[in-house]
Amino acid sequence: MATVLSLGEAVAELVHDGDTVALEGFTHLIPVEAGHEIIRQGRKNLTLVRMTPDIVYDQLIGAGCASKLIFSWGGNPGVGSLHRFRDAVQHSWPVPLEIEEHSHAGMANRYVAGASGLPFAVLRGYTGTDLPAQTDTIKPITCPFTGEQLTAVPALNPDVTIVHAQRADRAGNVQIWGIAGVQKEAVLAAKRSLVTVEEVVDELEPKPGALVLPTWAVTAVAEVPGGAKPSYAAGYYERDNSAYQAWDLIGRDRDEFTKWLNELTGVKA
């Protein structure tokens, strides 16, 4: 059964130094505030996992929280590159960042295997590309029935997955609607999970097509209104595109970034 906690309590309890942590969200419902809380609490040596690491991962990497990134597309959607990610890969600033690189199809299937309790997933992918030569977690496999050459990728089972959702009830059942990306699979694949929500309500009103994560599949829920900003939460607020553009200027420059970081963590310059 999920426990309803404050964000600070939940991160303190669930995210430890050295953990493999997935903060998922596919443009929509990105758990940005939870990422900021991880920075504030000063976690180190995390293996960060996400299909589409965007600006909150740029911030976590720039803050030195991560020693490894497992991903399939790292950019500032609609704007350009992630400069803290680039700086870490190209110049090891502020700490070296190891990368494990996949395609979206590979990552999605790794979560599916993780959620399914299987050791690996099979897909018809990566053929002819240079990715398998760089990534140990992409291997050829022969179909035992047809003899076809396919690709195997191992299950992803994060120590903790964090996602953001619209609502939970007081018992900790979670309701998500709109683009739900790979969030369900990432939560079910994880050993522990935290769902930050826009609001905790007495009763979840049924929504067509909504995805419900039952309380017994979630470790903790934290009420964090606006917790996905500057990404968006369908039914609550829109994406703040100007914030994504503004990040480009902050992320480009180590000094500007350090100022931003000090403001977030309350360190006096």
Partner 1 sequence: MSEYTADEMMSIAAARALGEGMSCFVGIGLPSTAANLARRTHAPNLTLIYESGCLGAKPTRLPLSIGDGELADTADAVVSVPEVFNYWLQPGRIDVGFLGAAQLDKFGNINTTVIGSDYHDPKVRLPGAGGAPEIAASCKEVFIVLRQSPRAFVDKVDFITSFGHGTGKGDREKLGLRGAGPTLVVTDLGLMRPDPETAELTLTEVHPGIEVEQVIAATGWKLKVAADLKITPAPTDEELTLLRSLKKAGE
Give me the residues that bind partner 1 (CB under 8 A), please: 26-28, 51-52, 71-75, 77-78, 81-82, 85-86, 89-90, 101-105, 108-109, 111-112, 123-131, 134, 148-149, 178-182, 184-185, 209, 232, 234, 238-239, 241
Pairing relation of β-strands 220-223 and 3-5? parallel
Residue among 5 and 30 whose Cβ is closer to partner 1: 30
Which residue's CB is nearer to partner 1, number 241 or number 262?
Answer: 241
Can you read off the two tokens belonging to residue 35?
Answer: 């990422």
- Joined tokens for residue 236: 């609550």
Rounded distance between C-alpha atoms, residue 32 and residue 249, angstroms: 19
CB 243 within 8 A of CB 230: yes
Check: CB of residue 213 under 8 Å from CB of residue 173. yes
Which is nearer to partner 1, 48 or 82 (by Cβ)? 82
Please tell me what DSSP assigns to residue 216: G
Question: What's the min distance (Å) between Cβ of 95 and partner 1?
Answer: 16
Smallest gap from residue 94 Cβ to partner 1 (A)? 16
Return the SS3 of 240.
coil
Minimum distance from residue 182 beta carbon to partner 1 (Å): 4
**Number of alpha carbons in the 13 Å side-chain half-sphere of residue 220:** 21
Nearer to partner 1, 34 or 180 (CB): 180
Which residue reads 């039914």 in tokens? 235
Question: Shortest approach of partner 1 to residue 259 CB, angstroms?
Answer: 24
The residues, any chain, with a CB within 8 Å of residue 47's CB and separated by 6 or more, are: 19, 20, 21, 66, 67, 68, 69, 70
Smallest distance, Å, CB 269 to partner 1?
29
Compute the least distance from the CB of residue 113 to partner 1, in Å: 10
**In terms of CB distance, is 43 or 229 closer to partner 1?**
229
The smaller minimum CB distance to partner 1, of residues 10 and 153, is found at 153
